[in-house]
Amino acid sequence: QVQLMESGGGSVQAGGSLRLSCEASDFNGVTNYIAWFRQAPGKEREGVAAKSIGGSSTDYADSVKGRFTISQDDARKTVYLQMTSLKPEDSGMYYCAQALTYVLKNARLRPDEYPYWGQGTQVTVSS
């Protein structure tokens, strides 16, 4: 059974930083992708960053490029999302999700490509 557990959310002021963690039960295989999504109240869920666990490929939404970094720690079976220069519009519930089959590179920020989801962690950025 695939399990994902997020942690690290919280409240920060604009310009601050947070690091989110996503601990995964399955960290094996070449076709293994973990992505971060976020959803603000009244808005659709949007992809933020994605990483190929079995390789080095990463993908970022244009809105976070240069500010967010996705990385992994194989020993801890954990994917991190380092968020810097946070803005109020970055606020929302952040979810990590996992796919264990091949995902086209141009689809790795699409929620419907990921069948497994964590419970989410809240990020609030105040101005």
Q: How far apart are CA 119 and CA 81, in angstroms?
A: 16
Name the maximum alpha-carbon separation found in the chain.
42
Residue-level pLDDT at 31: 83
pLDDT, residue 84, reads 98
Q: What is the pLDDT of residues 11-41, one digit of tens each?
A: 999 999 999 999 999 998 888 999 999 999 9
Q: How far apart are CA 40 and CA 29, in angstroms?
A: 32
* Residue pLDDT, tens place only, 30-81: 889 999 999 999 999 999 999 999 888 999 999 999 999 999 999 999 999 9
Apex 24 CA angle, 20 and 40, nearest 5: 40
What amino acid is encoded at 21 in this protein?
A: S
The identity of residue 72, as a single letter, is Q
